[in-house]
Structure 1
């Protein structure tokens, strides 16, 4: 046999095709639309979305394939070696124009009043492929709308049944809440039961909808797209640091949409990050400096406010001063706070305001496995986390790993939380037994079998537990023994950045400087009535001290404890950098206008540092500040080992933060507060414990601890481990309960 020439230019598992006369080398098994997109050849489409499965239902992407007697959908036709495709031939254009005409048969002629106008895929494609005059004379069909909740507005008569929203809730969110009902021309998309969407990612159906059927209810009829200016920013309600765009009109943030970054949030956005901008415009927004005079609040000028702040700090230097910082504070502000504390001789500075156990001097650490690789892990252990509420898009990564790549997910929790993935094993134990549960031989063997392609995700239930040091040690030992990568979720949007900026105590930690009160405190970005792990102890200490509060909100709890309120901007209003859970430093640009006389926090700190002649405040602008930034190493002081709770006869507390109660901005976003996931203050306990106490769902119960007491509604929930109660923090009603154990009796 004679030798045959070998085409070395085509890699293995690739084929050569031709699209509109252009020769392309593309992977086997890919679709025509993939090849065309990679080559920059436009093909119209509606149902196709690169992050969703292929439906091939709209037929808008029909193309002409040589030797094929019928048109082929580009999204569902695999490439073959030697294939020749025409996307703009007379035949292909006829197919596409005919499909466009059919799609518009029942579509309402309401473009002038449609909230999607100006950014509607159907509008754009119909301009190029639609007819100027309709040949359809029959009555158009009308579909009744259903209420999908406070976040997503519906106009289902516009729906073209592309099923993108259905596939999103099924494949990405994992909730299967949307589907097609009826048949033929009566087909319509809905929720079957008429209930609101409950997924924490529901806003993404707005982004994938190619028409105006699903729109943003909060933004609806507020502005036209061409009136908006886009600003790059970041999500600041969890440690993922989702990339997003703020859409702003005349300084007001009207809408938030995702900005694609495959290494962080892919192209999705959690509802918490999408709708929290509402909270920026709360009635109690701090917009002018305030000073307490004889128990009354008086508006003062910035010059007087800076002089007052300087006087308070000058009179309370060294160990008399405590600096408490919210963990979503930016790197720039954090670095200045660390410099300010050092210049005043105080080593009492901390951002770990939700932590209870400091005996191991634990600080935030970057993930041992990059978040973008977690969906490729073979074994995943979720340890002490309601991950779906804690970091919604990290939960989506875990689901993707399980659904797409067959990962085995193991859960060790005190509550059988609702997850959108299946579990290979599940242990629901008391909080005090979490460490022992990691010793399970079968679990260890399963994870060790992954040969290092495994990850342990450690969440807030562990990190904020009264005996957290023991649990962190157990997680580290488990990871070391099995070869898994340890990923401790930082407790705050910028906890890792503040750790690197030196916002850590060489002296007293957050708990110590409140249990042993200082004479004066700086509160930075904190809502004192809701943000501390032990609210009662915090308020007692703050009420007896001089307090300078740098705050976005002049809320009741801040007014009660502060002597001076300095209004500062929130992240969507300032230029800033945050460091996410991967250790990735990301930048946000100022979008919204500062409220009233509020100022960027770094400017206020710069002025105070300058007045106090503290080193490190010589810069004059943000660029100068950033040029001076460098990682700071702090030898963090460890506190005494945590002791067992005094109420030995009580119930162990499973404390989680409500998904929409985590910080001051989210708590003021009215649409999120109206969402079904915002369950409200309550105490959940197992059926066995409820029977023993004579309690039923809906009844009120008195819940007490050494810290305080509360009256809460009872929920009998079989998911809760017997011997414990599940209570969400972030609510005023649950704030007094800052303990590991509580007693429960009928009210």
Structure 2
């Protein structure tokens, strides 16, 4: 530890800490532009200058490591004069367009100038003008405002892992640019707007749509993937205007993906705002009474074995709990939350979780990826893996199908091949990677959900368990076995038991039974990834919020609420229980999903035993105690899966995962449609759902 004094306050800090970091621990404010705690130190804006005793001039506190006995002063006349001078230089060429700048009210340059700047400037020269740059459909540039802090360059290189931004020219002619005016291809590019301390980089979809003081801010959780990023929803009137990240060190740090941030314009488009009933082959508007009565009349003619229920990728736990209870009362054993048919072992929680946890990635020293396009399936987890790589001492290997062009890993990863038989070779130590796994202290594997959708998904899952056990990935202090879920609802559905009963059918068998006529009614809860033809002649009830694929096939439509319109529980891929907050009300006659099912149960004479959201959650806790915790990792007991089957000789197919369109909300988004046209690889554009 090193002892130093800052503004007459003594503090002990670890060796290597900078003066700026030490001051922050004492809650002493030092203004910065180029410095960011998660980026490499640049030391080029000089705004953080402080006075150090026995030094003839001020020092840059962000780049100066502490030393024993150092004495620092942060608010002396010399420091104040230096800060005024720095701001005076920065504002020589900065345009005075704060009233029309989207960064107005959230601008570091505004705030710091008011606090530390002078009231005038001694420079009378004409301001320079810089041409705007093309950085894609998500980022709007005003490069005349740029102060050359290089935060964006360092973010692109270090966090996003794409070397697509840099500086050209020198001195007054220096410009930040995307080389050859190409679009930024990172799935994290929207974060460039957040880290820009001025209005040089702004959000193109949000441009001129609102001022921060006009917006109502609601803290919530993202459900566009299974990471569970913490977000802030900004609403204006009855619309979600933008979504920003919230700090959560163990999940998303302070970043979010572009889909999380920009798909919000799809929340208001193609919405279902009233019930519909199919009459004479056409869906027609109906009242709630008529829609529920139609369902009751149909169910009244059926046995429980002729009824099935499926839940989709964005269903909340409360609605799945209510639907499962209703199916139990109807004596239907056919329920499943795995609409893509991915294999899991519901009775063993560790079999479907990201057990290492997202933060735990930083302790791993080797990783084996198995058929996952992780950069697109979970950009924030991929960014955490890159962070681990940059720390040094990390090796990565990949077994699986070819990744989309330009969308592979952003850290060195050796592709071992695309044959499932490689797993057997690794297990039997016939492959060179086996020796590296044996030597590793904290090895981990990440199994992609797409591998579990194959016909030999059970064999792959079993083989991965054996690899984890063989190479010491399962210990009291470490669990390196990870399944990367893609759907926000999947872990919650498995935790609540939304799976077939003993004699029930899984999704594949439900669809086969529909085509044979054995199942005559299917209840779809936010199910939009199954082709309509697979339901045969079955009577389909669709409950959801968008007029997507499931609604087109439905015989009765019950309009539900999106994640921004309800308080609801979701469980992320690492098993962390989190709760969304209601930012606005559902449109028209749409209602919260669990309330719809509760009303239907009463209409059927099968009344569910809860009337309030709190009572539903108590039932969830009775079903699984994990729901008594929030924002906490509950370690899962390890057990043998005992799955049967042989590995298929068919190679893993190439990935065609379209990151920008994976669910009804993003498919309804104009912004995501533009991104698909301009940014998605050619192999991914044809497929607009999970692939």
Q: Say yes or no: TM over 0.5.
A: yes
1:86 aligns with 2:73: yes
How far apart in 2 are the matches of 1:274 and 1:337?
30
Structure 2 residue matching 1:246: 3-state secondary structure: strand
Counterparts of 1:562-581 in structure 2, within 5 Å, are 562-581=554-573
Residue 623 of structure 1 corresponds to which residue in structure 2? 614
Equivalence for 2:438: 448
State the partner residue of 2:666: 666
Alignment-derived partner of residue 580 in structure 2? 588
Cα shift at 1:525 = 0.7
Partners of 2:423 and 2:677 lie apart in 1 by 26
Secondary structure class of the residue paired with 1:674: helix
CA–CA distance in structure 2, aligned partners of residues 52 and 226 of structure 1: 29
Matched, 1:298 2:288: no
Q: Note the C-alpha offset of 1:94.
A: 0.7
Comparing 432-441 with 406-415, which one deviates more in the overlay?
A: 432-441
1:453-472 aligned at under 5 Å gives the runs 453-472=442-461
Does residue 327 of the first structure (1) align with residue 313 of the second (2)?
A: yes
Q: CA deviation at 1:360?
A: 10
What aligned pairs does 1:225-304 form with structure 2 within 5 A after superposition? Answer: 225-282=212-269, 284-304=270-290
Closer/same/farther in 2, CA of residues 729 and 358 from structure 1, 3 Å limit: farther
Partner of 2:627 in structure 1?
none
CA distance in 2, matches of 1:360, 1:281: 35
Secondary structure at 2:464 match in 1:
helix
Contact conserved, 1:231 with 1:247, CA < 8 A, in 2?
A: yes
C-alpha separation in 2, matches of 1:353 and 1:426: 30
Aligned residues of 1:655 and 1:729 also touching (Cα < 8 A): no
Alignment partners' CA distance in 2, 1:324 and 1:681: 31
SS at match of 2:208: coil
Say if 1:655 and 1:359 are closer, same or farther in 2 by CA, change over 3 A: farther
Query: RMSD of the alignment, in Å?
Result: 2.5
Aligned 8 A contact 1:177 1:191 in 2:
yes
CA distance in 2, matches of 1:348, 1:227: 48
Q: Is the 8 A contact 1:411 1:423 kept in 2?
A: no
Q: Is the 8 A contact 1:386 1:459 kept in 2?
A: yes
CA distance in 1, matches of 2:373, 2:192: 23
Query: Offset of 1:669 from its aligned partner?
Result: 1.8
Residues 173 and 420 of structure 1 are in contact (CA less than 8 Å); yes or no, is this contact kept in structure 2? no
Residue 237 of structure 1: CA displacement?
2.0
Where do 1:4-403 residues align within 5 Å?
14-282=1-269, 284-355=270-341, 365-403=352-390
Distance, in Å, in 1 between the alignment partners of 2:255 and 2:551 is 38
Contact kept? 2:219, 2:233, Cα under 8 Å? yes
Question: 1:351, 1:74 → 2: CA distance?
Answer: 53
Deviations 1:611-662 (A, max 9, x none): 23436x23222122222222647xxx999969979xx9xx974454321221
The superposition leaves residues 517-562 of structure 1 with CA deviations (integer Å, 9 ceiling, x where unpaired) of 11001011122xxx13xx3xxx33424011111021123x435421
User: Larger RCO: Structure 1 or Structure 2 (Cα < 8 Å, ≥ 6 residues apart)?
Assistant: 2
Q: Residues 677 and 39 from structure 1, CA distance in 2 versus in 1: closer, same or farther, beyond 3 angstroms?
A: farther
- Unpaired runs of 5+ residues, structure 2, are 474-479, 625-640
Q: Does 1:481 align with 2:470?
A: yes
Contact 1:680 1:731 in 2 (8 A): no
Q: Does 1:551 align with 2:544?
A: yes
TM alignment of 1:732-743, pairs within 5 A = none
CA distance in 1, matches of 2:602, 2:366: 53
* Contact 2:459–2:645, Cα closer than 8 Å, also in 1: no
Whole-angstrom distance in 2 between the partners of 1:482 and 1:251: 54
Q: Is the 8 A contact 1:359 1:469 kept in 2?
A: no
* Matched ranges for 1:598-637 at <5 A: 598-614=590-606, 617-630=608-621, 632=623
Q: Is the CA contact (8 Å cut-off) linking 1:357 and 1:467 kept in structure 2?
A: no
Distance 2:223 2:57 in 1: 51
Shift of 1:133: 2.0
Q: Which position in structure 2 is the counterpart of 1:523?
A: 524
Give TM-score scaled by structure 2 length: 0.90
Partner-residue secondary structure (3-state), 1:393: helix
Shift of 1:427: 0.9
The 1:77–1:258 alpha-carbon spacing in structure 2 relative to 1, beyond 3 Å, is same
Counterpart for residue 743 of structure 1: none
Shift of the 358–57 alpha-carbon distance from structure 1 to 2, 3 Å rule, reads closer
Task: Measure the CA separation in 2 of the matches of 1:361 and 1:462.
Answer: 20
Residues 426, 467 of structure 2: 8 Å contact kept: no
Aligned residues: 659
When residues 642 and 567 of structure 1 are mapped into structure 2, their CA distance, relative to the original with a 3 A threshold, is: farther
Q: CA deviation at 1:681?
A: 9.2
> Secondary structure in 2 aligned to 1:349?
strand
Residues 550 and 379 (structure 1), Cα distance of their counterparts in 2 relative to 1, 3 Å cut: same
CA deviation map 1:241-284 (0-9, x unaligned)? 111111111131111111111111111111111112111122x2
Q: Which runs of 5+ in 1 are unaligned?
A: 1-13, 684-726, 739-747
Between 126-135 and 173-182, report the one with greater CA deviation. 126-135
The equivalent of 2:630 in structure 1 is none
Structure-2 separation of matches of 1:597 and 1:478: 52
Partner residue, 2:508: 511
Deviates more, 1:142-151 or 1:433-442: 433-442
Q: TM-score, normalised by structure 1?
A: 0.84
2: CA distance, partners of 1:681 / 1:318: 46
Structure 2 CA distance for aligned equivalents of residues 420 and 189 of structure 1: 25
Q: Distance in 2 between matches of 1:559 and 1:496?
A: 24
Secondary structure class of the residue paired with 2:450? helix
Distance 1:105 1:317 in 2: 79
SS of aligned partner of 1:332: helix
Counterpart Cα distance in 2 of 1:618 and 1:459: 38
Contact 1:521 1:547 in 2 (8 A): yes
Deviations 1:180-212 (A, max 9, x none): 111111111011110111001000101100001
In structure 1, what is the equivalent of residue 533 of structure 2? 540
Q: Give how far 1:361 is off.
A: 9.0
